[in-house]
Amino acid sequence: MRLAPNRVAPSPLDGFDFTAIVRPGDTIGWPQAIGEPLGLTQRLIAQRDSLPHPHLFFGMSSSRTLSPELADSFTFTALNGAGTNRRISSRSDIIPAHVSAIPRLLRSKALPLDITLIRVRPLPDGSFTTGPISDFTQALVAAARCVIAEVDERLPVTGQDAILPAGAIHHFVTAGLHEVLMPDPEPTAIETTVAGHVAGLIPNGATVQLGVGTLPVAVARALVNHRDLGIHSGVISDSFVALMESGAISNARKRIDVGLSVTGGLFGTRILLDYADSNPAIAMRSSEHTHSQAVMAQLHALHSINSALEIDTTGQVNAEAIAGRYLGAVGGQPDFVRGAQLSPGGRSIIALPSTTPDGKLSRIVATLGGPVTTARSDVDVVITEHGVADLRGCSFPERTRRLIAIAHPDFRDDLRAAARRGE
C-alpha cells in the first residue's frame, strides 16, 4: 500500500492476514522492547496454526508475547536472554553479537530477515517516525522483503535515525489497544550503596552511559546533584527525566553531539515518552553511532557503567549465562567498555552486588561459570557495595587481592584459598 503524504489509511488490525505474506522458511523480526508492535505480534501468534513454521528474530523483550509452548509453531532466534526472553531462552537460538555489529549483520544477510514488523507515527512531510526505538530499526527495515507497520499516534515524535520514508513500508495497519511500557524497577538497598560508589567516581561534566534495570536506576538517582553531565547511551529509562529536570544533564561539555542526549531506545513509560515528544535535546541514533568506538573516542570523559552476572578474580566478566541458563547478553557492554577507554578522561566501570539476591553465592568467583563477555584487559574498575577495585595497571596477584577485598566477607577466605591453589 503506497500512501500520499499525510494520508495514512491503515487496514484494520483484526483483518490482517499473515498467511498471504509469510512464505516457507521466512524469518520475521521486530524491534526490541518498547519498539515491539504488540498488535501485530499478537496477531501473528493468533494465526500460528496457519503459518509454515516461520523463524522469529528479536532482541530484548519486555512483553509476554512469546512463551515456551510457541516453539512448536516457530523457531526462536534471539540476541539475548534479557527481559522476558528469560522465559524462552532455553528454547531459543542465541546470537552472541555486539550491538554495534547488528546493523551490518542484518544488511549483509548474515542475519537473515524477510519480514519486519514495526510501529510508526506519521509526520507532516509524509515520512514516519519509529518513536522510542532507533538502535537497529533502520537495518531491520532495509533487510526485509516486506515491512508491516502499526500506525500509532501514541508514539513520541522523534527524529534522526528514527525517521523512515513512506516508501520503506509495504503494509499499514491500525495499532492495537496495548503497547509495551517499561517502568523503572525499584533498586534494593545494596544496589543503592553500589550506585553511591559509582557516582563518587563520576566527575561533573562527564559523559555517562547507563542501561536499564535496577542498578542503572540507582546510579541515575545518585547522580541527581551532579552538573553538566552528558548522555551517550544505548538506551535510557524514566530516571533520565529526573536527571534532566534536576539540571544534572546539560550535554554542554561534549566534544560532539553538544547539547544532545544521544540514545537508541527510550525504555520507559509515558513519563519518558511524553518528555521526548518533539524534544530537540534528545537525539535518536542507530547503534552504528551510539555503540561506535570512533564516536566514543571523541566524547569527553565517557564513563560507561555496566553490570555482570559474575566476575572472576582476574577481572574477566560474564554478563551472559549461569549454570547453563542464558540470562543476559553480549549486548553493548564490550562496545562501551572499549569506547570509554578511548575517550579522553573516560573510564569503564563494572558494577554489581557482591552476592546473588539470596546471599548464597558470591558474584566474585575464582572461576567463571559461564562465558567471558568482557576481557579482563578491558576492565578499568569493578564496584560492589563493599568498595571499589581499580584494576588499571595491576598484575594478576594485585587484581586478585583488590577484587577479593570487595567481595562479600563471607566468601573472601574461600577466594583467597582458591587463589593460593592457583584455581
For 359-400, the pLDDT digits (tens) are: 999 999 999 999 999 999 999 999 999 999 999 999 999 999
If asked whether residues 218 and 359 sit together in one domain, one would say yes
If asked whether residues 211 and 341 sit together in one domain, one would say yes
Count of structural domains, the chain: 2
If asked whether residues 306 and 411 sit together in one domain, one would say yes
pLDDT for 265 equals 98
The mean pLDDT value for 191-198 works out to 98
Q: For residue 179, tell me if it sits in a domain.
A: no
If asked whether residues 232 and 97 sit together in one domain, one would say no
pLDDT for 5 equals 44
If asked whether residues 36 and 117 sit together in one domain, one would say yes
CA distance 291 to 98: 9
- CATH number where 320 lies: 3.40.1080.20
If asked whether residues 356 and 234 sit together in one domain, one would say yes
If asked whether residues 212 and 87 sit together in one domain, one would say no
At 311, which helix (H) or strand (E)? strand 310-312
pLDDT at 402 over 50: yes
pLDDT in tens, 327-337: 999 999 999 99
If asked whether residues 163 and 200 sit together in one domain, one would say no
Q: For residue 112, tell me if it sits in a domain.
A: yes
The angle at the Cα of 31, spanning 103 to 171, to the nearest 5 degrees, equals: 100
Q: For residue 285, tell me if it sits in a domain.
A: yes
Q: For residue 184, tell me if it sits in a domain.
A: no
The mean pLDDT value for 82-98 works out to 94
Q: For residue 317, tell me if it sits in a domain.
A: yes
Looking only at the bridges linking them, the beta strands covering 302-306 and 207-209 are: parallel
Q: For residue 374, tell me if it sits in a domain.
A: yes
- CATH number where 57 lies: 3.40.1080.10
CA distance 302 to 395: 25
In what order do the strands lie in the sheet containing 347-351?
Answer: 282-284, 261-263, 230-233, 207-209, 302-306, 347-351, 381-384, 387-390
pLDDT in tens, 207-255: 999 988 999 999 999 999 999 999 999 999 999 999 999 999 999 999 9
Looking only at the bridges linking them, the beta strands covering 115-122 and 75-78 are: unpaired
If asked whether residues 128 and 200 sit together in one domain, one would say no
Last residue in a domain, options 142, 174, 206: 174
pLDDT for 384 equals 98
pLDDT at 115 over 60: yes
pLDDT in tens, 122-153: 999 999 999 999 999 999 999 999 999 999 99
Last residue in a domain, options 127, 151, 174: 174
In order, the DSSP letters of 63-92 are SS---GGGGGT-EEEES---BGGGGTGGGE
pLDDT in tens, 25-43: 999 999 999 999 999 999 9
Q: For residue 279, tell me if it sits in a domain.
A: yes
Look up cell 563493599; give the residue.
386
pLDDT at 160 over 80: yes
CB 17 within 8 A of CB 173: no
Q: How confident is the model at residue 314 (pLDDT cuts 50, 70, 90)?
A: very high
If asked whether residues 222 and 328 sit together in one domain, one would say yes
Look up cell 509476554; give the residue.
64
If asked whether residues 105 and 246 sit together in one domain, one would say no
If asked whether residues 234 and 369 sit together in one domain, one would say yes
pLDDT for 7 equals 55
pLDDT at 2 over 90: no
Q: For residue 1, tell me if it sits in a domain.
A: no
Last residue in a domain, options 124, 150, 174: 174
Average pLDDT, whole number, for the chain? 95
Containing structural domain, residue 260? 189-421
